[in-house]
Structure 1
């Protein structure tokens, strides 16, 4: 028999479908012995039977589910109709009786808090906090029934309807319970977070407190005191001026009161109460197994807990111990791809790179360089390397953490320095030889010979095997790929940033500035990604001659892309040229380090915006002319430098050597990633062949479901050794992946969960300017074009590309852009290097650039100072 009422001691987490998130959590707390005021839950069965008495609710819910959530006018009207209708419905007699009996059992003499508790509320990934209503100090049975009905109606407030619609919750599948809880008349109330809600530190307890009822804090009418405690010690106190408090009144309801002057600036909680609350909060967190947002109040010196729910805003932690303190940086920020990844993509990268330093959190990967940073040389060299090569903000954040006493007091693991020295010694020797001895002009042939050999080796290993054997071969080849690239390619490509830093230092010392260095970066010889951009330009020039092909491309789709070209004049000619491009670059795409991303060979229409954008913004043949001009400008800059330092001198010989290394090794910068993507694509072909076989056997519903399994799990599945329900596992991971997509990954985080931002870059900047890292010199003004995905780009002549990040898959857009702004990056990351090579100004590492700069705004970009100014709020 279904119950309309359940007391707190009859409820636990398994009761969520009947009492909602708030009710289930209060039941858990009460049953476990935490100090919870008595009460009961009016269950979802009661709500369902209540609305079942309405002949109209079915049709109203149909209207609600069919409604466009962005149509606010329609949303308001429909919500108002439903709420009015529910307010007029009679509550069935049996239901009223059960509520009255429960109320009498707890105590008719008390006042009550009547709170909504939805089944899609206080969940680990969706809090729904504040979406339904709460009523305080309710007295008498008529008041109780009236406010329970109001709670049911509040399931259809505008904000609740909109939130559910935008988060994909079916309005029919969200039910409402009502929590009826004895009112506490507190001297002090507050909110306790068992992790710092601002920076995510899991060891910091953060407490807001003020006088009277907590409603004053929740509604924002008072600035509460803020206390922070870590490991039983105070780390922060801020005593606010608390002018107003809310109190219960005897006849029911609440009233605002102005506090006496001497109480307004008084610390609301004593130090002893703060520490007791921090300890209580951590016990509650331990019980629930996750950080909690807890509402508390203090009556006659006794602490009561009136609500606890998960903190849903925290970025997930990697699976590593919190102690001793460790520091990690985002692999995606280094690779210019910060999007969430599917499990297969994550497991492939953790197969290529050492698992002991690469951890997953929130669908992203984080690198743990802690052991290196525990050494003195590591603390000196690594932050500088990050500053120059990766991302200035990342460097500042890491520098901040490694200066903390709790980090410095932990030595590196025994034997680490010795083993690291032994591993790096031969690589350092190769780097030295490339820098000062070997002919830089020969580097390209050596590197490309290794790449061809490696690619051929992988292809051969994956042929002639099938099933689990083929998947194991994929795993084996990926497991040695990182080592092979490090030993054979790294000693060449690392010479590019090293020579950059040495050249810059020499030019500043001997010439007085580094301006010529940026000229040397233009049109680097042999850059495989720049050559790809030039070939996009060639395709665009071909399309200029074929207007029917141009018209076709505007509407082409991936499935019929090639077939449709046969039906237009010039289509076969374009098809031959395009297929030549795909034969060389079809394994690439935006976010290409993620094996699960669709490659251009599968989604050729992704390249259309780049081709058409090039036609709009670049004149015929101009891209090739610019490249030749860049080569000439680089040669002229080299001559000017040598003339300045004096030919024949030691200085000139050293600088000449550095310039040769810089240009020839710079041309190889993209080769390791090119090889990586070639091999990832070969592995993907093998994996998808096996996936299709698993679909035919009925093991998987569709071949892309393999993206939601790890490589190890896929091998087990092929061996028929996988013990879990694959369909359910895939469905759960798809849902989790969608949640991961909503998260904003930090550049740097600690093992305690703290998201470290570091201090901002110092300097005198124009008021209101967005500050990043200067990456390519020059000052330009133009219209901002915000692009989140390159396949959706629509760049016009003279527009400035504003992007979250760029990797080689974005390169086709660079010919069309007047300048570049990115949210992520440093001096030697993809966008910065390519911008310098193309001779366009760039500022990288501008936090939230795509949100702060609106599409179409006029902006001024100073690539020398690293600032972006918004010239007009009006979109042009």
Structure 2
């Protein structure tokens, strides 16, 4: 048995797919992953691993595993696909190869992380997973997320055969994490958004991250964010804690780390080509790449420094280009979603990927927190919905039912006379 495990580990290190003993490939080492069989997310990370870039290692359950699971389901599409029995043994061997450590289990759908559509935040990831039983549960969560209302609303009729691969890799216990956008050229500016702890708050838009711009000459500029809490792993749980008072107001990144992240982003761009949207994490001073999708729509340029806004005008961060005028609909909790009407302007504490269906109806979006590189902002840009983000106290300062105008290119919000 030990010799068999050694052979499996050698195959995994060499990037060879591990069979299940019955002639069916059950999983693919991450460094061997290709987009055609393992989805855009896993395929991009596999290419970066082969290039020697810092990506946490792991393996992928390819599209064929999902097809097998669906074939074993009683309904079409299945609400929650069963886990095929023949997958359990190869999964156990692959997990043994990764060692006893917490894992991240992440979606890698066929139509995800593409040049034309990102599907940012539309499918599930599960963090701090340990043990075969919990990994299986997390894999089924990812499979199931392919057919949630938000995923269906996002892809519409664009995808003939929805398929889901699942990436299982080592969890990075991040001290700081976030997202960076590169340009297509080596001299282009790199934009970085960063927060303390795991990156869920940055990509989910539930914090206003520190925003950095790193020039080709290495110069770094910063706009401070607001992050009262941070998310960290505690054993096999994710725990939200207050940011220590000593850290409030302090930069999340120093210039040296911001510069290293920018150089890493440019290396990813050189390897994969085109402007890139990169999720990253830093642990023990070392940066890691967690995802590297194409930039589908560039965010608006940061606004120049402003003076005091004119009376009746609010300002925030430009999140998605364009202007819109409509009735403000202030939503403070998901239970308010039924009050949204076509053509209104959504005003909320922060957006959520599950609200994707609303972006097809509303004329614009205003949030109290969130960054321009968050999942919701990316989807708003893809759908051409103007958005202004990070407007403090917007749900209190904007009256529900009032008529407002927003400019997603400049970040201005004004009240319109009846």
**Band of TM-score, shorter chain:** 0.5 to 0.7
Residue of structure 2 equivalent to 1:135:
126
Greater share of residues in helix: 1
Question: 1:242: Cα distance to partner?
Answer: 2.8
Question: 1:757: Cα distance to partner?
Answer: 9.4
Residue of structure 2 equivalent to 1:232:
217
Q: 2:242 aligns with which of 250, 255, 258?
A: 258
User: Does 2:246 correspond to 1:243?
Assistant: no
**Contact (CA 8 Å) 2:31, 2:45: kept in 1 or not?**
no
**Contact (CA 8 Å) 2:73, 2:82: kept in 1 or not?**
no
Question: 1:755: Cα distance to partner?
Answer: 6.8
Render the CA deviation track for 1:678-698: whole Å, top value 9, x for unaligned: xxxxxxxxxxxxxxxxxxxxx
Taking structure 1 as reference, are residues 303 and 757 closer, same or farther at Cα in structure 2, changes over 3 Å only? closer
**Contact (CA 8 Å) 1:8, 1:31: kept in 2 or not?**
no
Q: 1:7 aligns with which of 14, 22, 29?
A: 29
User: Does 2:191 correspond to 1:169?
Assistant: no
Residue of structure 1 equivalent to 2:200:
215
Q: 1:26 aligns with which of 10, 30, 45?
A: 45
Taking structure 1 as reference, are residues 95 and 269 closer, same or farther at Cα in structure 2, changes over 3 Å only? same
User: Does 2:279 correspond to 1:279?
Assistant: no
Counterparts of 1:58-207 in structure 2, within 5 Å, are: 61=77, 82-83=78-79, 86=80, 89-107=81-99, 109-165=100-156, 168-170=157-159, 172-195=160-183, 203-207=188-192
Q: Distance in 1 between matches of 2:87 and 2:254?
A: 45
Counterparts of 1:752-831 in structure 2, within 5 Å, are: none
SS in structure 1 of the partner of residue 246 of structure 2: helix
User: Does 2:277 correspond to 1:293?
Assistant: yes
Taking structure 1 as reference, are residues 765 and 98 closer, same or farther at Cα in structure 2, changes over 3 Å only? closer
Q: Distance in 2 between matches of 1:281 and 1:56?
A: 43
Q: 1:46 aligns with which of 34, 59, 65?
A: 65
Counterparts of 1:338-377 in structure 2, within 5 Å, are: none
Counterparts of 1:376-387 in structure 2, within 5 Å, are: none
For structure 2, the 5+ residue unaligned runs are 1-22, 314-324, 326-383, 388-402, 404-413
SS in structure 2 of the partner of residue 26 of structure 1: helix
Q: Distance in 2 between matches of 1:870 and 1:296?
A: 41
**Contact (CA 8 Å) 2:174, 2:282: kept in 1 or not?**
yes
User: Does 2:290 correspond to 1:306?
Assistant: yes
Q: Distance in 2 between matches of 1:284 and 1:28?
A: 10
Q: Distance in 1 between matches of 2:45 and 2:115?
A: 16
**Contact (CA 8 Å) 2:220, 2:258: kept in 1 or not?**
no
Greater share of residues in strand: 2
Q: Distance in 1 between matches of 2:51 and 2:143?
A: 29
For structure 1, the 5+ residue unaligned runs are 62-81, 316-753, 769-783, 785-847, 852-857, 859-867
Q: Distance in 1 between matches of 2:246 and 2:28?
A: 45
Bigger Rg, which one: 1
Taking structure 1 as reference, are residues 17 and 222 closer, same or farther at Cα in structure 2, changes over 3 Å only? same
Q: Distance in 1 between matches of 2:138 and 2:60?
A: 14
**Contact (CA 8 Å) 1:194, 1:202: kept in 2 or not?**
no
Superposed CA RMSD in Å reads 3.4
Q: Distance in 2 between matches of 1:299 and 1:758?
A: 33
Q: How many residues align?
A: 303
Question: 1:758: Cα distance to partner?
Answer: 9.6
Structure-1-length-normalised TM-score: 0.32
Question: 1:278: Cα distance to partner?
Answer: 0.7
SS in structure 2 of the partner of residue 227 of structure 1: strand
Question: 1:241: Cα distance to partner?
Answer: 3.9
**Contact (CA 8 Å) 1:227, 1:234: kept in 2 or not?**
no
Question: 1:29: Cα distance to partner?
Answer: 0.8
Q: Distance in 2 between matches of 1:871 and 1:126?
A: 38
SS in structure 2 of the partner of residue 154 of structure 1: helix
